Chain A
């Protein structure tokens, strides 16, 4: 074992200088009891920064649209390209971030796609194509997709029931479109409500688990 004459301690490992006072050591080296681990690059921190920057650019892009003219007389096709790229960026970001739970990720996707399409619709003259088509179609498809995914992926009920329930409830939102006549073409909304109703009936089979899961998550 090496020795530091200044500190009067024996030093394990192959240190050339004393780890305490940095003066040279004397004697023979011994195997180091602690591993020599190379410095690591913090991927987590980089991803956090990237996520924050991406979100800032995306929200900034959406906000800056308000400074331009609404409707087709505005910046025209450039707006669609811009919004398309930003929306895709956001969707991919959310899909990657929430990739560990398909049901949870789907909730985020429904909210992001529904919100973006409604905003896009508003920017391009509010023709309500988002309410007629995008929101109900995305909601209905997400209900079907989640029910298939949880079966194929053999997810435990407790892991998805809250999110599945939330997606099914989101699928009932088009009822408002029908009641208030917000959707010029109501067919997709009717289909969405029907699919959502069927989904809720399926989820009722998991009611005890849903209640238990909610008791867990909502414990005060």
Chain B
């Protein structure tokens, strides 16, 4: 008789289930572009090897009365040619399927993951091991490049919930090292009644800047929805060093600089670019950099940054300076820990705990919708990726993008190549055009790869009329 392991879904993942929709199925993709066409048989062998090391990826998602949980399964993944649009839905209620898929097309191999299973870092670990195993298998098949020794990687199991490990009341720091903000963790181990920050404490008090962000009317991007709810993907590829130099010349980190460019681009592509408006961006922060964890499960928090346009400080340098200050204040271990402890306390409140999961989903969905109203765009940067030696020379570029309910970009750098993938639920690509031109105006060479989303681009017409939305030029970005 089979007794399957199971774990309750972690803190961050619950929101993905509540917030998923036809437009945003909460799926993201990380791809690697190889130097040769992908061999599906070798890729399958590599997947079988990698899959064994990731018990987390064996999981299927099930719904309890009050919460969701991940349960171990005997399912085996099969590599498939890419035939669907990027980031097509993976999780379907009442069906027990794996929460990820591995695809290939020409020189690209892709891993698509339902976000409730893992985050970008976890997915990147998986893809790295997959590419490494693939390259080693190719090497064994007679290609002299690369090595044939098996990779030694930690097992990423089902059970570790880093949120609970670090932030739940009564749980101390489980890290091997001494993470930043250790005193805060001792504080977290105290009963909640003693550890709650008072409204007057400095940490609990929102900054004036932050209050201003929430008080002001946030400009949101509008447009014509893609006909069958697919995500529009536009990949911009460029050399990483010149962009890094540009960011340095503005005294900003790459993520801050790219976020500033993005806000500026959205502003320029919007109607009425002279009127005052606040544009905001949601930026995920990988918590592993502050709270060491080898778990591949979701372990990130988001911070919100923004800039007030139309007040005479709309140059890139001024936006960078404004955003840098907000990043510095928001992305500290103390600030993140406090935010997460507050969220987890909310999640553990008795009235919410005894609420059946469909009702809980309704509440979380409303909270998410309200939160979305305060966001213009989203940004995610996985940073510089270095693969194991066997794979490094064989991978030409790596790409990362996600299904999005609002315009978003995901960036990653590999082998000196920065790839910025814009995704959007809208047909219009005006913000990407402005972003690309902001870069090319400064002498950066940019290549563009875009997905096709409308009949005119695809050259086929098989769309029921009711699924399209009428174009409303007055309210849309261009």
Residues of A within 8 A of B (CB): 1, 4, 7-13, 15, 18-21, 31-42, 44-45, 100-101, 156-158, 209, 212, 216-220
| Contact indicator A34/B233 (Cβ below 8 Å) | yes
Query: A19-B234, A100-B94, A220-B354 are known contacts. Are A39 and B66 too (CB-CB below 8 A)?
Result: no
Chain B residues positioned under 8 Å from A9 (CB to CB) = 236, 436, 440, 446-448
Among the interface residues A13, A34, A36, A212, which one has the most CB atoms of the partner chain B within 10 A? A34
A204 to chain B, nearest CB (A): 15
Alpha-carbon distance A11/B236, docked complex (angstroms): 9
Q: B154 within 8 Å of A by Cβ?
A: no
Rounded to whole Å, the gap between the CB of B30 and the closest CB of chain A is 15
Which residues of B does A touch, CB under 8 Å?
1-4, 6, 8, 22, 33, 64-67, 69, 71, 82-86, 94-95, 105-106, 108, 227-230, 233-236, 353-354, 429, 432-433, 436-437, 440, 445-452, 455, 457-460, 462-464, 467
List A contacts of B432 (CB < 8 A): 20
Measured CB to CB, the nearest residue on chain A to B31 is A33
Closest to A209 in B: B1
Closest CB in chain A relative to B94 CB, distance in Å = 5
Q: Do B448 and A41 have beta carbons less than 8 Å apart?
A: no
Please state if A36 and B458 are interface contacts (CB–CB under 8 Å).
yes
Given contacts A7-B433, A34-B86, contact A42 B467 (CB under 8 A): yes
* Residues from chain A with Cβ under 8 Å of B108 in the complex: 33
Q: A33-B106, A37-B85, A39-B463 are in contact. Are A216 and B6 (CB under 8 A)?
A: yes
With the chains together, A97 CA to B353 CA distance in Å? 28
* B447 and A20 form a contact (CB under 8 A): no
**Is A19's CB under 8 angstroms from B429's CB?**
yes
> With contacts A8-B446, A9-B447 known, what are 19 further pairs, Cβ within 8 A?
A7-B437, A8-B437, A10-B448, A15-B450, A20-B234, A31-B106, A33-B108, A34-B86, A34-B450, A36-B459, A37-B458, A38-B458, A38-B462, A39-B458, A40-B230, A100-B94, A156-B2, A158-B2, A217-B64
Given contact pairs A8-B437, A13-B449, A15-B450, A39 touches B455 in the complex (Cβ within 8 A): yes
Residue numbers in A under 8 Å from B8 (CB-CB)? 219
Nearest 4 A-B pairs (CB), nearest first? A19-B450, A20-B433, A8-B440, A217-B64
CA–CA, A30 and B123, complex, Å: 30
Inter-subunit contact A37/B449 (CB<8 Å): no
Interchain CA distance A101-B62 in the complex, whole Å: 13
Cα–Cα, bound, A13→B440 (Å): 20
Could you list some 16 contacts between A and B, CB below 8 A? A8-B437, A11-B448, A12-B449, A18-B448, A20-B450, A31-B106, A34-B450, A36-B459, A38-B460, A39-B227, A39-B458, A41-B464, A42-B22, A42-B228, A212-B3, A217-B65
Bound-state CA distance A7–B446 (Å) is: 9
B64 interface neighbour in A1, A100, A209, A216, Cβ under 8 Å: A216
Specify which chain B residues have a CB less than 8 angstroms from the CB of A31 in the assembled complex: 106
Nearest residue, chain B, Cβ from A21? B433
Complex Cα distance, B2 from A174, in Å, reads 34
Pairwise interchain contact B449-A41, C-beta atoms closer than 8 A: no
Instruction: With a 10 A CB-CB cut-off, give which of A15, A21, A39 has the most chain B CB atoms.
Output: A39
Of B66, B71, B449, B464, the residue contacting A34 (CB under 8 A) is: B449
A216 to B60, CA, bound (A): 14
Provide the bound-state CA to CA distance between A220 and B33, in Å: 44
Q: Which residues of B contact A36 (CB under 8 A)?
A: 452, 458-459
CB distance from B444 to the nearest CB of A (A): 10
Which of chain B's residues have a CB closer than 8 A to the CB of A21? 433
Neighbouring B residues of A218 by C-beta, 8 Å = 64-66
**Least Cβ–Cβ distance between A207 and chain B, in angstroms:** 12
Interfacial chain A residues near B65, Cβ < 8 Å: 217-218
